[in-house]
Amino acid sequence: MGTYFIRRLLLMIPTFIGCTLLVFFILQVTPGGPLEQAVQRLQMRASQEGGESGGASVSDIMGGGSQILPQKALNDLKRFYGFDKPIWKRYLIWLGIWEREIKHRDISFNPGENKLKKRVGKKNRKKIYVTVHKNDNQLTVYDDSGEISSLWHAHIENEDDGVSEGVIFQTEYSGILTGNLGKSYTYQQPVTEVMKPRFKISLFFGLIGMTFSYLVCVPLGIKKALNHGSIFDFTSSVMIFVAYSIPGWAFGGVLLVLLGGGSFWDVFPLGGFRSPSEIWDSLSLFGKILDQLHHAVLPIFAYSIGSFTTLTVLMKNGLLEQLSQDYIRTAFAKGISEKRAVWVHAIRNSLIPIAAGIGHILGIVISGSYIIEKVFNIDGFGKMSFQAILDRDYPIVLSFLVITVMLKLIGNLISDLILASVDPRIRFK
């Protein structure tokens, strides 16, 4: 079994690279990205202010055919959004296995000028300078001692009328493999800080919803199997299949109308993760628990309704199949009581298919549900990620992809572990 799981862990590497590579390339070549949106905002602003290039298209501006955006400003925008490198290099930089440029300083060589001195910082109240030498189109950076700098590098970005504009910079390995998920374009904060509170919210609803589903569906499936063909079995089957046909977000809307102060009873709040901060901060610990549960009831029902049918039917069919096996009939023939044969032997084996799917479900519920979070106005992980797609906030979109892919891969591995632990007959080779 150890060899099997080592192979599975190694297989996760190409799977992860394949998934992220595909989505990364699709995002990079999709029109209407953050760079185009930034240029379009400048174009609209110039148009409102009566600028000369108000009628220029975005492609004209990015191609340098419009005066609204100088080439240097366009280069700065490309560098900010990471579009100043080839797409393959951008992916390697994002992974963290190719050096990323940081701490940029603009430089400019006048015609006939081949050397200049540039301030790059301050240390212990002492200004630090470097000297940049130009040889044709090659730039070399020297530190104060006259040696070639190991920290600073330089290259030319644009030449116009004999003036060479360039940039000096430092490099570092910084990407998802080093724990750096980037900085959000929308929030102007590190992605980890943006995601952390929202991930906790989706984790809260996802895990509680999954636990609630198992606590309800497993006993219900057992009850249906032991009363197969009865009125209870028929009635409950109708109810769970009707529930299965209702999308979770639609069910959430119905619950809000019925119980959220709509047309009927005002029992639960209309939405939100908890009460506003001015109310929340004034509550005691017990009051905070009640307030949190009060806000969580309707979303959890909406989260869980879709899984009721699958888990219940899986549990019922699994138990019916086990009850028809020869070892159960043998147990009855040996005088073992029906209660012991069912609850000790049959139910344990019928739980194997359900246990094997726990890891898979875990990856789904933690990633959140955008539509349900939208209905209940919950600022969760799914809602944030969907909005990031609309806003072309690539750092958040790609970080969401990394987290969901890893959860999916780890979830499948957990499923194999659980399957091997509950079924001693399984041996991975």
Percent helix, strand, coil in the chain (nearest 5)?
60, 15, 25
Name residues whose C-beta falls within 8 Å of residue 254's C-beta, 6 or more positions apart in sequence. Answer: 246
**pLDDT by residue, tens only, the chain of 429 residues:** 677 778 888 888 898 899 889 988 888 888 777 878 777 777 777 677 655 544 555 555 555 544 556 777 777 788 888 888 888 999 999 998 888 888 888 888 888 788 888 888 887 778 888 888 888 778 888 888 888 888 888 888 877 777 788 888 888 888 888 888 888 888 888 998 998 888 888 888 888 888 888 888 889 988 898 888 899 989 988 988 888 888 888 888 888 888 876 667 888 888 888 888 888 888 888 888 898 888 888 888 888 887 788 888 888 888 888 888 888 888 878 888 878 888 877 887 787 777 777 766 666 666 657 778 888 888 888 888 888 888 888 899 898 888 888 888 888 888 777 777 766 666 665
User: 329 and 225, same structural domain?
Assistant: yes
CATH number at residue 335: 1.10.3720.10
**pTM as predicted:** 0.78
Residue length of the chain: 429
User: 407 and 293, same structural domain?
Assistant: yes
User: 232 and 361, same structural domain?
Assistant: yes
Q: Which domain holds residue 344?
A: 191-422
Contact between 309 and 240 (Cβ < 8 Å): yes
Residue 19 located in a structural domain: no
Place of tokens 């904060």: 189
User: 163 and 76, same structural domain?
Assistant: no
Number of domains in the chain: 3
